[in-house]
Amino acid sequence: MKLGVYGLGRFGAFWAARLADYTDVVAFSRSPKSDIDPRIGLVSEDELADCDAVVLCVAISAMEDVVSRIADRIKPGTLVMDTCSVKVYPVSVMQSSLPETVQILGTHPMFGPDSGRNGIDGLPLVYSPVRISFAADSFYRDLFRKMGLHLVEMTPDDHDKTAAYTQGITHFLGRVLQDLHLEPSPIATLGYSKLLEIIEQTCNDPEQLFLDLQRYNPHTHEMRESLKYSLDRFMTKLKEVTGLPA
């Protein structure tokens, strides 16, 4: 079984190395960096399309372009799996662009190079089977479990609803708080230290991921509106209770 990872950005390089602990992995990158795990052979886009499975580790906003580039080169029976932080949009791109003979699996590993720095054991991976054989389904459930991951099966829409109010709100707040230039302090409370960790972790990810999370998840708009509503409500409440300007 040979997996072909498409994209060796920050997440792709990390994910390819985790997969290489359990199976053969090759990878294609438009601009390969020098610090790629030595077990991962670099291949051309054509060679990648020839793998048993293609694991897409590209920006959400690049999905349409990348899927259309590989659609005609992939053999019948091959499995294409995305790893995007939203699910409805990339799954619909794969469904509309890939031939009927190609298998489709949506995944979202709920971690990255920062949160998985000390190992990924017990961390959640969202698993959305779309068009997949019994054998392939068993193989990938098994693989992810062997990797120590907590497999959570969800429909793409359930994922997006839940992720908007978990990962989505965290990334949104991380960016808003970064804008305030908060700094480490000798009088930091434990809670404030956690706030700084959230900023660091979310802002370490590419800005593209932040924008894509807010743009391609159909539920983040409502999340942002709710957050703004609650903030305004508290500003008003403080004004009423304390008699001070909000």
Q: How far is CA 112 from the centre of its chain?
A: 8
Residue 115, class by beta-carbon neighbours within 10 Å (0-12 exposed, 13-18 middle, 19+ buried)?
middle
What letter would DSSP give residue 56?
E
Does position 144 bind a copy of itself by CB under 8 A?
no
Tally: H helices and E strands in the chain: 10, 8
Does position 167 bind a copy of itself by CB under 8 A?
yes
| 221 phi, psi to nearest 5 deg | -60, -45
Contact pick of 58, 63, 91, 110 for a copy of itself (by CB under 8 A): 110
Contact pick of 45, 64, 195, 219 for a copy of itself (by CB under 8 A): 195
CB closer to a copy of itself, 33 vs 194: 194
CB closer to a copy of itself, 1 vs 231: 231
Does position 152 bind a copy of itself by CB under 8 A?
yes
Does position 121 bind a copy of itself by CB under 8 A?
no
Does position 86 bind a copy of itself by CB under 8 A?
no
Question: Between residue 225 and residue 244, which ones bind a copy of itself under the rule CB under 8 A?
Answer: 226-228, 230-235, 238, 241-242, 244
Report how far apart, in Å, the C-alpha atoms of 203 and of each of 2, 10, 98, 176, 190 are: 33, 13, 33, 10, 20
Does position 179 bind a copy of itself by CB under 8 A?
yes
CB closer to a copy of itself, 47 vs 116: 116
Does position 1 bind a copy of itself by CB under 8 A?
no
For 79, residues 6+ apart whose C-beta sits below 8 A from its C-beta are: 52, 53, 54, 102, 103, 104, 105, 132, 136, 140
Report how far apart, in Å, the C-alpha atoms of 144 and of each of 133, 140, 161, 187, 210 are: 17, 6, 23, 42, 26
Contact residues for a copy of itself (CB under 8 A)? Answer: 108, 110-111, 114-115, 123-124, 126, 150, 152, 154, 159, 162-163, 165-167, 169-177, 179-180, 182, 185-192, 194-195, 197-198, 201-202, 211, 214-215, 221, 224, 226-228, 230-235, 238, 241-242, 244-246
